[in-house]
Amino acid sequence: MDKRKRYRELVNLLKKYSEQYYLWDSPTVTDAAYDELYNELLDLEKEFPTLKASDSPSQTVGAKATGKFAKVSHPYPMLSLENAYSEDDISVFWERLKKSARGHRVDLVLEPKLDGLSASLTYKNGLLVRGATRGDGVVGEDVTQNIMTLENIPRKIVAENLPEEIEIRGEVIMKKKDWQKLNELQADSSKKLFANPRNAAAGSLRQLDAEVTRSRKLTFFAYALVARKQVFRTQMEILEALAHYGFSVTDKISVCQDQGEAFLFYSQLERQRAELDYDIDGVVYKANDLFLQQEMGASSKFPRHSIAYKFPAEKAETTVLDIVLQVGRSGNITPVAELKPVTVGGVVISKATLHNRDEIERKDIRVGDRVVLQRAGDVIPQILYPLPEKRPPNAAPFIFPDVCPCCGSGLAISEAEVAIKCLNINCEAQIIEKLIHFASRHAFDIEGLGDGNLRFLFGAGFVRTPPDIFELENKRLQINLENMDGWGSQSVENLFASIRRARVMTLDRFIYALGIPQVGRSVSKLLATFFGSAAQLLEYAQDEKLNELLTIEGIGPAILQDITNFLNNENNMECIRRLVDQVAVSNMGIGEDGPLAHKTIVFTGVFQHLSRTEAGELAEKSGAKVMSSVSAKTSLVVAGENAGKKLDQAQKLGITILTESDFLKIIGIDS
């Protein structure tokens, strides 16, 4: 496979998985599967340094804050931790510490790596004034009202020599017993169950209604204290102070002076893991000396003085009852193993994706096989391998069909996506999946149009295309939905009310809802900012202007080709035109009064505090138009370290050049 193509594929996949995990609390891959892809990305970046992109997960932390809450800029970046998977990794880390210590003794503080949601609490004159999520490490979400509902968080700190302003950092978790009680209540109310305590904690803290957060028992464990002037000398002093201030601090802590002690603690905690009343997924190794921590500093993503030694993924053995094929909205055929239900880490697992035909053939997974699967905090786990010695004598190799399981059309192999696809755009399975996507939470968010109801409406012939949804209410008397099985007058009324609300839509969500291949939420926002209005979108689709999309940072030839193919299809264009007649699509105007209003800006080089993607978003919010290439029309160039040809071009053209610090000051952020 082409290395450049594989690299972009990995970047896009990992960004999607990070958003699912950090923002939407709905991970779809295991931690182990994510780490495997992430390590492949690092290997490519090491082998081909010129491939490294500013939006690479190796250069970013967490994921962008959503629009649900007000944004909060962290005065001090909230970085994530580098992962270790073996004793060799820890040995390399230990040598790094000893080298930085220049002959002085190195003490390590070992703490359990809590599996929850990172949060920061700001206190001024001892009073709690703000609570925020980590977000992408630079900008998080203001969840102050929700944080105030947590019973074990002190509203006031009374202590001598307390700095005027301090930030307490820690993890918001849900204990296992509280997660089980919450799921019992969810089941009683026929609501969605939370796959694990981490998802439950994240979803509960990020509720728009603080009373919902209050009703779900969350716990905050503190592990760090940040202030402009540090008054402590060691991490252990900080932990002791946090406990003295009234915060919950885990009692599973050890101070070690050699690797043998550290590995022993790791092994002991791994054995105790299942007995703890909260989830952990590893051990954090951290330099105890705060001066050494400061000396070692941090990369753009990780502090160099700490590392997380991850536990191996939890595993279980079960039986493959069947292998079924699912047809996605883009026509991709995905095999899924239906399993005899098995509990792994407190979660009942009954399905696991097999990804594609090559995966089935490579692992030789058959119906009836006993298989070993693993789970590491995910929803759908990964089958590691079958157990041939336990295979039934009649278990035959799985034969991938030559035709679509839904419409019977022939299948094609997509070399670009390494997938088998049904190319019939009239395939009912694809149409239904596209409708489900259109009505989903991050698109038009039409409550009452879930999987089951949409399948019913499609089967009855009432909804065949997205615009049909907005014509349902006008046909109310004709279709008489209230009298059909599974419906009632109240559910129908609620559905129509939700559809009416969806008639007002932002352009980025409108574009995302169309289901254009490779156009997720982040690309939809880029396109919405570029087009500005639905009218402009339609105008660009009718001429050769679409090539201008290549000037947008983050859109390359492959994405442009998918956009062009989609908009060149007359059925798709007719759908868009009908939707524009039905929906009021708000324009995406840039900040007319922003400090960078009407400026065209280009970013180049590597920045200390921001990724290029983050910088671009901040610039757009401040009124600028962000471009990927320098021209005579460019107003400003922001240059980081290792800036190359773009900086040279800007100097030749006499364009104003800013440093990262200059840029942050202009937009009102203190670097």
Query: Known catalytic residues?
Result: 113
Residues in the chain, overall count: 671
Residue 141: φ, ψ to 5°: -115, 140
Cβ neighbours of 251 (radius 10 Å): 7
Assigned token pair, 220: 């905050």
* H or E element at residue 638: strand 636-639
**Rounded Cα–Cα distance for residues 208 and 204 (Å):** 9
Please check whether residue 369 is in contact with residue 320, taking contact to mean a CB–CB distance below 8 angstroms: yes
Residue 290, classified by CB atoms within 10 Å of its CB into exposed (0-12), middle (13-18) or buried (19+), is middle
**Rounded Cα–Cα distance for residues 363 and 394 (Å):** 18
**Rounded Cα–Cα distance for residues 408 and 425 (Å):** 12
Cβ neighbours of 523 (radius 10 Å): 22
Query: Angle CA(396)–CA(397)–CA(401) in degrees, nearest 5?
Result: 115
Assigned token pair, 500: 């009416």
Assigned token pair, 165: 């302003």
Residue 476: φ, ψ to 5°: -55, -50
Residue 545, classified by CB atoms within 10 Å of its CB into exposed (0-12), middle (13-18) or buried (19+), is exposed
Residue 188, classified by CB atoms within 10 Å of its CB into exposed (0-12), middle (13-18) or buried (19+), is exposed
**Rounded Cα–Cα distance for residues 198 and 157 (Å):** 28
Q: How many whole angstroms from its chain centre is CA 304? A: 24
Cβ neighbours of 333 (radius 10 Å): 21
Give the strands of the sheet with 165-173, arranged side by side: 127-133, 117-124, 165-173, 219-227
Beta strand 625-627 with 600-604: parallel, antiparallel or unpaired? Answer: parallel
Query: Angle CA(536)–CA(537)–CA(543) in degrees, nearest 5?
Result: 90
Residues 6+ apart with CB under 8 A from 483: none
**Rounded Cα–Cα distance for residues 513 and 507 (Å):** 10
Which residue stretches of 502-582 are H helix?
507-513, 521-531, 534-541, 557-567, 570-582
**What is the Cα Rg of the chain in Å?**
26
Give the strands of the sheet with 370-375, arranged side by side: 347-353, 333-344, 314-327, 370-375, 382-386
Residue 102: φ, ψ to 5°: 50, 50
Please check whether residue 3 is in contact with residue 51, taking contact to mean a CB–CB distance below 8 angstroms: yes
Residues 6+ apart with CB under 8 A from 480: none
| DSSP class of 410 | B
